[in-house]
Structure 1
Amino acid sequence: MSIIGRKRKCDPKHPYLSGNFAPVTKIHSSTPCTHTGTIPPELFGGQYVRNGGNPVSNSDLGRDAHWFDGDGMLAGVFFQPSSSNPNEAIPNFVNQYILTDVCMSAFEHPSLRTPILPSIATLVNPLSSLIVTIFCIFRSLFLTLISHMPGSQQAIKRISVANTGILFHDRRALATCESGPPIRIQLPGLETMGWYDGNQAEGELDEVTAEKKEEVLGGTGIVSWMKEWTTGHPKIDPATGEMILFHCNFVAPYVHYSSIPSTSHDARVGLPKLLNAPVPGCSGGKMMHDFGVSSGHTVILDLPLTLTPFNLMKGEPVVSYDDSKPSRFGVFPRRDPSKVQWFETDGCCIFHTANTWDELDSHRSTVAVNMLSCRLTSASLVFSAGNLPPPVRAKPKTTQKSRPMSFFAPYDDDEIADPELPSSEKTPLISPHHPPLPEDADEEQCRLYYHRFSLTSSSPTITHEYALSRIPFEFPTLNPAYEMSAARYIYGCSTSNESFGAALGKATKIDVLVKMDVHTLLHRAELSPPKSVTGCVDTRNISQVLSSPSPHDEIQAFKMPDGWYAQEARFVACQNPTSEDDGYLLFYAFDEGQLDDEGECKLDAVSQLWILDARNMRDVVAKVTLPQRVPYGLHGNWFEEGKIQGQRGVERVRSMPIVIGEGEETVWGKVKRRVIGWVG
């Protein structure tokens, strides 16, 4: 047994390894599903796919675990057109592991009790000893070295688990994660092909031989493997087809930047490829999950959340947050990061941007860059998603009443819920063995924020910075045709639960979907400007928003039925839209009435895919019942029929490794199995 992550049998179950957070072990090839309602014709021939962590090595349920951990697993619904009726489509469910190097090595060695890579919870926990942290890191290095020994079926050349997002660029579906380059996936079967290097992906037919000698992601040199580490949220320009990415590492210049044009026939001709360009001025190694991209500019987020092993030399966790330091935003022309301007404001965390757009004057010159983001007032998400209490703030503030809060609960001082109210949630809470949360946790917020970066001021100035609404808001989406422009509508996730259970790390339990009319809210702000940084345009709480009778309210909300929880939604436009919001929101839904008395999913628990009218935010036009549940996960996407049919050719895909029985092992195989069993 591993010496890491042991817990007594009497300890409560880890909430991110329990209930519908627990991984599934069964994979499905294309499996027909039943449905109710009417499937919109816009979905025919397309596929909704969602990514998320699903650890292969999971026998030690008392180990450190984090919601962002786990081997990537894709869960998709393909709307196969009916061969007998052109007005119908048959939804088919498919789920597959993303066969990264790490995932395949884990399957090759079923004796592993814990994942090959250390948990983010270990890296962020200030209570983890230096010895434990170093042991976990060296264990990963050791298992990586073992994978390169003779007899191994898959050498670990890249440590990415590819468990964050999935997108489509230049006739390829690509799964993403910060710890490596994108990896190509074949739709609709969700087979894994191989790593994408900025020119082509492993396993492709040799269609781009002329580009083979070009520079690749990461370039060359001793630290080139770190420069492959790509954001989980690359951006695709809907007008040009470009893919814009950045790459973080631990050594200066810390952030590199790439812009890769599309070679498809409908892409703009003549755009240059830019790979691995340094972004000067970043303050250090960062845990940087997302960024902003407009039609002409890019915004890099240099926030006070560091990610570097050099923190260990200062007695700090590998991932550390310092709210005494400012948040910095680097704005530069999209193809020239050397011209970056740095803007500073109060310390905060931002994991997701919602949209970014340029503001032009009468001469079509850019005078400002505008950005909407899901702004958190602390890094509590990083800790609560690992079942850890956030550290005490460097600058404590006085509050009327203290209560433990997560990043996603409502944080309104005038409406503090009684923490002793009964909760219907069955999933376990934060371990009572952890120290209490800080007294100033009432100051937590996660709201949709507006930032305006002036490009005409004598010095870099953020002229506007405030929340559009006081309600919690995360996991944003919008009509993809309006990305990088002044979109009117932004959709996202919220919660109505202020119970003690919601406060203790239930950030991911989504029971409200929200639609915000950004244009109307910004117009209101012009008439009555909110207080900078701390102010918000609409001051209603979620209950007041839900009770609004107006179908034209600038904030509309859809409440899930009691006991049901949603996941991140994706917007799919109608075929001939009459407005920007003419379309549907697709998301997975789960009924927690399927949990037993101990908060675990019953064996026959299933999830559904819901299709919600995005215009009225009321009508669920169809529900697809899946053959199994889909764990609460991260980010998904919609792939229309033309993209699926127009994918690049495939020469080979990755396959599961063969597990060799004990009686069939070589001498070295026996030694390796025993060594791997010893390290856990």
Structure 2
Amino acid sequence: MSLKRKRGQKHPYLSGNFAPIQQTRPLTPCTYEGTIPEELAGGQYVRNGGNPLLNEDLGRDAHWFDGDGMLSGVAFRRSERDGSIRPEFVNQYIHTDLYLSTLATPSLRRAILPSIATLVNPLSRLVTIMLRIFRAVFLVLLSHLPGSEHAIKRISVSNTAIYYHDGRALATCESGPPMRIQLPGLETVGWYDGNTAEGEGVKPDAQGFGGTGLFSFLKESTTGHPKVDPVTGELVLFHNTFVSPYCHYSLIPDTSKPSATRKIINAPVPGMRSAKMMHDFGVSRSHAVIMDLPLSLDPLNLLKNKPIVTYDSSRPSRFGVFPRTEPHKVRWFETSACCIFHTANAWDSHDANGNVTTVNLLACRLTSASLVFSAGNIAALQPMPTQETVDAVKRSISFFDHYDDDDAAHASAHANPSVSAAYDRAPALESPRPTEKTPLLSSPSPSLSPPPPATVAAEEEEQCRLYHYTFSLSHPTPTITAQYALSALPFEFPTLNPTAEMAAARYIYGCSTTAASFGAALGRAAKIDVLLKIDATTLIARAATTKPAPVTGCVDTRAMSAVLSSTDATDPIRAFRMPAGWCAQEARFVPRAHSAAEDDGYLLFYAFDEAQLDVEGECPPTAVSELWVLDARDMRSVVCRVSLPQRVPYGLHGNWFGEEAIAKQRGVESVRVARGPGAGGEGSWAWRAWMGGRRFLERAIA
């Protein structure tokens, strides 16, 4: 059935390959083309994302960040018979309290929690927001009363990311603590509190996230992007709250490694000015960088007749830098307003005596908060909107505005048969199979005469670019000594070689687009058709000579067409363009074994051929996705394509779990099991009367 809104307009995040899928599968063998690198043997790629269990009310508000968490993974299992590598696909819902309660309440037509789109829409009526919140609170309280299959103790949907620490795979979301997942079957074990996880059969011996007290659950809320130190194994994370001090900080040692670091749980970080929408942060080997940006997330705004989410471009962006074990020593650095949802890396610079002199940060910097609204199909409003701006704002998302769409280059490629063939579907492979370095698919040959090197203006326009910040620790007052874009190209969802994290990594990989914008506030949703490789070290060194202007400066101002047509083997920016009609998702780097080269490895990502969409732009039940393995060094060769038994909707963040990590998972005593509604109709007349009244209330508030 086509997912259309009641007014006849398709919601971009409920249609096409953004549409949710309810089918789940256990580990299922897959076919593939090419050669599976030996580095993948025994490991598993897993990606998280929101996938609403309830989707009957097609006219409802919806947001890309909504939805019950669903994990989709490909395990590269070793055959016990002949040692060959066999890919197997698995996808499972994360069994959160909300998911289990929803499954046991068949009368519900909408999710228990209100959509983020309802909460952030500046045009939502206060009474509508209050009724949605009251409904959620009522259903949470009802879940604790007799007759409930599962009580809702935490409201996280765990739909953002997944990572590994100290023998546990943990799924994340800002609205609660991490949830432990068992690999490779993706079973849900239970909530993790910084000491142990439910389902492990071990009682915690110390205070966990949030502590105790009536509002302790607020301090459990954990960033969707915790950091794990590749050297010490330490887990570093923060917790946002809606009351002062607004931000808390935790550091959890890896018990399998010797460490002199003591565990830190919910230490306050002084200096935050208000409740913020802080999605990510930076961590170097010795320091942490949190962000007090002018993007607030405060439910108490409702009492002031203001939207829950507000962006005030007249206020500065503030970065709090502190030693990893001493959050009370935070120093605040101020600069121009911006939004940052994802950081790429952070590292220290030292003087001759080994003292840290500066902390560096690479981050995906946006110049507005339009993403928050666009991902909910809402027109982004400027601060203090008038009715005129409400009527006028029908513009594209700020992610990637004002970039050329290199249609001419694309047309030229298809005019050349040898290049056009590279964009066609890879033919069936013939025996013998190609070697690991033989590509199934390559980026277009650079043999075409390149177009003139188009450039992009560096002024402060709507943009999302990879930015370099340096925070000086040697100045008497907090000073940002560098802040500029490395490239003018659109850049989001970064990844890098995990062994180089928290150090001066040279290469950063990320997602981009050839279109004029990455999405539209009231139109099509975000689509990724280019993966980028940026030589950050080279561009930072170039900046030392060219000295780009603070804030608005940009080192490499080339547009996408110029980068795609480059024939320079030493180009600091390399691009892999998807074949026509194909879209990618966020990639994850897997290093090649026994190689000292930082970029010697592979990018794993899900890919979808939109030629499968029907005439209305919807996915038929037969639509499927693939997992691609791209050579990260040459950014041209797809060495393997795994055909999946179903499609994987466009989602959020994934990770790679190696064979050793999977083997060293902690023991599990029990996993969460999904149950349907209770049988009912049994027991005393009083019990039957209560259950009848309960079901009436559930249907009335559905």
TM-score (normalised: structure 2): 0.88
> Given residue 494 of structure 2, which amino acid in structure 1 is its aligned partner?
P
Task: Identify the match of residue 187 of structure 1 among 183, 188, 195.
Answer: 183
- In the alignment, which residue of structure 2 is the partner of 1:171? 167
- In the alignment, which residue of structure 1 is the partner of 2:697? 675
**SS in structure 2 of the partner of residue 330 of structure 1:** strand
**SS in structure 1 of the partner of residue 49 of structure 2:** strand
The Cα shift of 1:670 comes to 2.9
**SS in structure 1 of the partner of residue 47 of structure 2:** strand
| Alpha-carbon separation, structure 2, partners of 1:13 and 1:110 | 26
The Cα shift of 1:663 comes to 6.5
Is 1:581 the counterpart of 2:572 in the alignment? no
Task: Identify the match of residue 152 of structure 1 among 138, 148, 153.
Answer: 148
> Given residue 149 of structure 1, which amino acid in structure 2 is its aligned partner?
L
- In the alignment, which residue of structure 2 is the partner of 1:376? 366
Contact 2:311-2:383 within 8 A present in 1 as well: no
Superposition RMSD in Å: 2.2
Contact 2:346-2:359 within 8 A present in 1 as well: yes
Count of residues in correspondence between the two structures: 641
> Given residue 341 of structure 2, which amino acid in structure 1 is its aligned partner?
F
Task: Identify the match of residue 63 of structure 1 among 60, 84, 87.
Answer: 60
- In the alignment, which residue of structure 1 is the partner of 2:414? none
Contact 1:417-1:498 within 8 A present in 2 as well: no
Is 1:75 the counterpart of 2:72 in the alignment? yes
| Alpha-carbon separation, structure 1, partners of 2:407 and 2:585 | 24
Task: Identify the match of residue 216 of structure 2 among 224, 238, 253.
Answer: 224
| Alpha-carbon separation, structure 2, partners of 1:64 and 1:291 | 29
- In the alignment, which residue of structure 1 is the partner of 2:656? 638
**SS in structure 2 of the partner of residue 527 of structure 1:** helix
> Given residue 144 of structure 2, which amino acid in structure 1 is its aligned partner?
H
Contact 1:82-1:89 within 8 A present in 2 as well: yes
Give matches, 1:469-548, under 5 Å: 469-498=487-516, 506=524, 508-548=526-566
The Cα shift of 1:671 comes to 2.3
The Cα shift of 1:253 comes to 0.4
**SS in structure 1 of the partner of residue 489 of structure 2:** coil
User: Do the aligned partners of residues 580 and 289 (structure 1) sit closer, same or farther apart at CA in structure 2, a change above 3 Å counting?
Assistant: same
| Alpha-carbon separation, structure 2, partners of 1:271 and 1:393 | 44
User: Do the aligned partners of residues 545 and 554 (structure 1) sit closer, same or farther apart at CA in structure 2, a change above 3 Å counting?
Assistant: same
User: Do the aligned partners of residues 147 and 83 (structure 1) sit closer, same or farther apart at CA in structure 2, a change above 3 Å counting?
Assistant: same
The Cα shift of 1:84 comes to 2.9
Contact 1:166-1:175 within 8 A present in 2 as well: yes
Contact 2:374-2:520 within 8 A present in 1 as well: no
The Cα shift of 1:659 comes to 2.6
User: Do the aligned partners of residues 499 and 417 (structure 1) sit closer, same or farther apart at CA in structure 2, a change above 3 Å counting?
Assistant: farther
The Cα shift of 1:672 comes to 2.1
Which deviates the most, 652-661 or 471-480? 652-661
| Alpha-carbon separation, structure 1, partners of 2:190 and 2:198 | 4
Which deviates the most, 653-662 or 240-249? 653-662
| Alpha-carbon separation, structure 2, partners of 1:333 and 1:442 | 32
| Alpha-carbon separation, structure 1, partners of 2:359 and 2:518 | 40
Give matches, 1:218-367, under 5 Å: 218-264=210-256, 267-367=257-357
| Alpha-carbon separation, structure 1, partners of 2:518 and 2:468 | 30
- In the alignment, which residue of structure 2 is the partner of 1:427? none
The Cα shift of 1:543 comes to 1.1
Contact 2:285-2:502 within 8 A present in 1 as well: yes
User: Do the aligned partners of residues 120 and 416 (structure 1) sit closer, same or farther apart at CA in structure 2, a change above 3 Å counting?
Assistant: farther
- Which consecutive segments of 4 or more residues in structure 1 shift more than 3 A? 6-10, 393-396, 414-418, 499-507, 660-667
The Cα shift of 1:205 comes to 3.8
The Cα shift of 1:271 comes to 1.7
> Given residue 353 of structure 1, which amino acid in structure 2 is its aligned partner?
T
Give matches, 1:86-125, under 5 Å: 86=83, 88-125=84-121
Identity %: 62
The Cα shift of 1:313 comes to 2.0
**SS in structure 2 of the partner of residue 572 of structure 1:** strand
User: Do the aligned partners of residues 673 and 442 (structure 1) sit closer, same or farther apart at CA in structure 2, a change above 3 Å counting?
Assistant: farther
| Alpha-carbon separation, structure 2, partners of 1:28 and 1:373 | 36
| Alpha-carbon separation, structure 1, partners of 2:519 and 2:495 | 27
TM-score (normalised: structure 1): 0.91
The Cα shift of 1:599 comes to 1.2
| Alpha-carbon separation, structure 1, partners of 2:13 and 2:375 | 8
Contact 1:323-1:395 within 8 A present in 2 as well: no
> Given residue 690 of structure 2, which amino acid in structure 1 is its aligned partner?
W
- In the alignment, which residue of structure 1 is the partner of 2:13? 16
| Alpha-carbon separation, structure 2, partners of 1:649 and 1:114 | 36
The Cα shift of 1:406 comes to 1.3
Is 1:595 the counterpart of 2:595 in the alignment? no
The Cα shift of 1:221 comes to 2.1
- In the alignment, which residue of structure 2 is the partner of 1:454? 472
Contact 1:99-1:192 within 8 A present in 2 as well: yes
Contact 1:473-1:493 within 8 A present in 2 as well: yes
The Cα shift of 1:411 comes to 2.3
The Cα shift of 1:213 comes to 3.0
| Alpha-carbon separation, structure 1, partners of 2:5 and 2:151 | 35
User: Do the aligned partners of residues 542 and 503 (structure 1) sit closer, same or farther apart at CA in structure 2, a change above 3 Å counting?
Assistant: farther
Give matches, 1:558-573, under 5 Å: 558-573=576-591
The Cα shift of 1:676 comes to 1.6
User: Do the aligned partners of residues 82 and 320 (structure 1) sit closer, same or farther apart at CA in structure 2, a change above 3 Å counting?
Assistant: same
| Alpha-carbon separation, structure 2, partners of 1:517 and 1:501 | 26
| Alpha-carbon separation, structure 2, partners of 1:578 and 1:235 | 23
User: Do the aligned partners of residues 9 and 222 (structure 1) sit closer, same or farther apart at CA in structure 2, a change above 3 Å counting?
Assistant: closer
| Alpha-carbon separation, structure 2, partners of 1:662 and 1:218 | 36
The Cα shift of 1:535 comes to 1.1
The Cα shift of 1:310 comes to 1.3
- In the alignment, which residue of structure 1 is the partner of 2:417? none
The Cα shift of 1:655 comes to 0.5
| Alpha-carbon separation, structure 2, partners of 1:655 and 1:199 | 23
Unpaired runs of 5+ in structure 2? 387-392, 412-458
Contact 1:46-1:641 within 8 A present in 2 as well: yes
The Cα shift of 1:504 comes to 5.1
| Alpha-carbon separation, structure 2, partners of 1:630 and 1:298 | 34
1:634-676 alpha-carbon deviations (Å, 9 max, x no partner): 0000000011111000100001112346777943333222212
User: Do the aligned partners of residues 625 and 502 (structure 1) sit closer, same or farther apart at CA in structure 2, a change above 3 Å counting?
Assistant: farther
**SS in structure 2 of the partner of residue 53 of structure 1:** coil
> Given residue 186 of structure 2, which amino acid in structure 1 is its aligned partner?
L
Unpaired runs of 5+ in structure 1? 1-5, 397-401, 422-440
Contact 1:405-1:442 within 8 A present in 2 as well: no
| Alpha-carbon separation, structure 2, partners of 1:416 and 1:103 | 43
| Alpha-carbon separation, structure 2, partners of 1:268 and 1:520 | 36
**SS in structure 1 of the partner of residue 694 of structure 2:** helix
The Cα shift of 1:130 comes to 0.6
| Alpha-carbon separation, structure 2, partners of 1:667 and 1:33 | 51
User: Do the aligned partners of residues 76 and 327 (structure 1) sit closer, same or farther apart at CA in structure 2, a change above 3 Å counting?
Assistant: same
> Given residue 532 of structure 1, which amino acid in structure 2 is its aligned partner?
P
1:522-567 alpha-carbon deviations (Å, 9 max, x no partner): 0110110111101100000111111111232100000001111000
- In the alignment, which residue of structure 2 is the partner of 1:426? none
- In the alignment, which residue of structure 1 is the partner of 2:454? none
- In the alignment, which residue of structure 2 is the partner of 1:425? none
